[in-house]
Structure 1
């Protein structure tokens, strides 16, 4: 099922849908029970209602159904076409959709920082938190090369090594701005 741009934008601006989608994207596949334990600020009825809407709209697929006692537990995954939303926006060259996608990206990062900053005891240096911006002079081809090298560097760190207790999941975000004409 092809996902409409309207459905994609709705997911981007809806905080409950965004949280569900990010959790499923992170895990690959999730049950409602998995989501309830990781998204404890979403009421159960809201979660189930939203999951049904995401399946109906084609954002989520039910990839398995497990019989657990007398109940059938559904396993959810993101629809392949939804996973390619960035590519779809690029192909359509849709500036408005691209800006909305970027805005949601920034809002989610801001929420992560807010959650961290509101903790009763933080240690910015010890927690290795930070952000920076660096000017880069490069062609489009060179930017792709930089991106590929960056992917190579972080690939080993994108899955948890259970032997290392100190490893914590962090969000490493990148933003490449369009060329500055000045």
Structure 2
């Protein structure tokens, strides 16, 4: 994906902010430059995720820290929201839900496939009247 395509697909974030974040991701080897092409005097880069670098940090040893960071991020999001003078959970459709599913591995794989399809179906482009909805899903270990 080119930097221009990234900016177009995330239309609600200023270009300068995206370029700054892209630079940070490149510096930390999370993104890599696949190709460069001169377009009207500017250098257009095609970028790719550096899956190898990401996989280095996705280890069993880091799993607890990763889960904690994820959950603390959600906690801070809720804390900031509820400390805001503008928080209106009913209007903003804020909810928490927990459900234990009884499923075989095959049934759970089917569930995850259908869930992925729902995310694809409802992953709309930014446009007037739409706002970001932060949906987080955690599959935690069940008790044996």
State TM-score, norm by structure 2: 0.68
Note the residue ranges of structure 2 that are not aligned, 5 or more in a row. Answer: 1-5
User: Is the aligned partner of 1:122 residue 2:122?
Assistant: no
Q: How far has the Cα of 1:65 moved from its partner?
A: 7.1
- C-alpha separation in 1, matches of 2:88 and 2:81: 10
- C-alpha separation in 1, matches of 2:44 and 2:76: 31
Equivalent position to 1:55, from 26, 34, 38 = 26
CA contact (8 A) 1:61 1:79 kept: yes
Corresponding residue of 2:97 = 132
> More relative contact order in 1 or in 2 (CA 8 Å, sep 6+)?
2
User: Is the aligned partner of 1:35 residue 2:18?
Assistant: yes
Across the two proteins, how many residue pairs are aligned to each other? 135
Corresponding residue of 1:151 = 116
State TM-score, norm by structure 1: 0.56
Change in Cα spacing, 1:107 to 1:65, as seen in structure 2 (3 Å) is farther
- C-alpha separation in 2, matches of 1:122 and 1:57: 36
Would you tell me which structure has more helix in proportion to its own residues?
1
The alignment partner of 2:64 has SS state of: helix
Change in Cα spacing, 1:57 to 1:122, as seen in structure 2 (3 Å) is closer
